[in-house]
């Protein structure tokens, strides 16, 4: 009797541990909060792109309208390459901190911020060129073009600042493996911003050339 009862006592905690391993860990509220923010963000860009094509369809047979030259492709291509390249160091920072490497977070974060800063600078140069012939108040095309590119530029600029803050926190020892969820959430934001830019690159710079 005592032996059978002892076996039952040993089986209960073992079974409980097995069940605990099988139950998935629920997502944190911050995760779902970011998901909702990204859904709203993507929806905003989708609405603006739909407005861009709608205005093109109903207002003119030529797009951009007469007097608005085609947007410069060279700088836009450079910006696209910079953001595409930033995916690698961003993944390095994310996966590195998950494994407990603060060095990878610092290295990946700095490289991503550098590439993002390069994007912001080239976009600034592009605005200087574009504003010579087209500006937001000129027509609907200019208004939509600068709204789309400016809204996205704001995302990248704020992302660069957030990256620098995380790097500073890591260097001061205030961000470690237990803070990985923060980096993962930011990485999702950065990845989505890169994908949105690739879509804008096709819409604003290539569709007008087809």
Determine the pLDDT at residue 21: 53
Determine the pLDDT at residue 25: 58
CATH of the domain at 89: 1.20.120.80
Please check whether residue 1 lies inside any domain of the structure. Answer: no
List pLDDT tens digits, range 122-139: 999 999 999 999 999 999
The residue that leads in pLDDT, 19 or 69, is: 69
Alpha carbon distance 118, 124 (integer Å): 10
Quote the number of domains for the chain: 1
List pLDDT tens digits, range 57-87: 988 678 898 889 999 999 999 999 999 999 9
Please check whether residue 8 lies inside any domain of the structure. Answer: no
φ, ψ dihedrals at 208, nearest 5°: -75, -10
- Domain interval for residue 85: 29-209
Residue 51: both structure tokens together: 């407005």
Please check whether residue 21 lies inside any domain of the structure. Answer: no
List pLDDT tens digits, range 76-125: 999 999 999 999 999 999 999 999 999 999 999 999 999 999 999 999 99
Please give the model's pTM, rounded to 2 decimal places. Answer: 0.85
SS3 for 66? coil
Please check whether residue 107 lies inside any domain of the structure. Answer: yes
Q: Which of 25-39, 131-145, 148-162, 183-197 has the lowest mean pLDDT?
A: 25-39
Please check whether residue 99 lies inside any domain of the structure. Answer: yes
CA atoms within 13 A on the CB side of 194: 21
Please check whether residue 17 lies inside any domain of the structure. Answer: no
Alpha carbon distance 7, 122 (integer Å): 70
Determine the pLDDT at residue 24: 53
Determine the pLDDT at residue 14: 56
């Amino acid at each position: 009797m005592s032996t059978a009862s002892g076996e039952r006592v040993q089986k209960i905690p073992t079974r409980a541990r097995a069940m605990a391993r099988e139950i998935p860990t629920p997502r944190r509220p911050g995760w779902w909060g970011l998901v909702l923010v990204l859904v709203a963000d993507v929806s905003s860009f989708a609405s603006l792109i739909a407005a861009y094509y709608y205005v093109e369809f109903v207002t003119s047979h030529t797009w951009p309208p007469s007097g608005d030259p085609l947007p410069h492709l060279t700088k836009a291509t450079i910006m696209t390459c910079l953001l595409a390249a930033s995916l690698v160091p961003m993944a390095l920072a994310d996966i590195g901190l998950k494994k407990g490497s603060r060095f990878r977070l610092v290295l990946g974060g700095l490289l991503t911020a550098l590439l993002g800063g390069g994007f912001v600078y080239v976009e600034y140069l592009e605005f200087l060129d574009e504003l010579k012939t087209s500006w937001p108040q000129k027509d609907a095309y200019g208004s939509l073009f600068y709204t789309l590119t400016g809204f996205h530029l704001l995302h990248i600029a704020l992302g660069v600042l957030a990256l620098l803050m995380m790097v500073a926190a890591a260097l001061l020892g205030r961000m470690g493996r237990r803070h990985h969820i923060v980096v993962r959430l930011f990485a999702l934001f950065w990845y989505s911003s890169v994908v949105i830019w690739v879509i804008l690159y096709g819409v604003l710079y290539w569709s007008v050339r087809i």
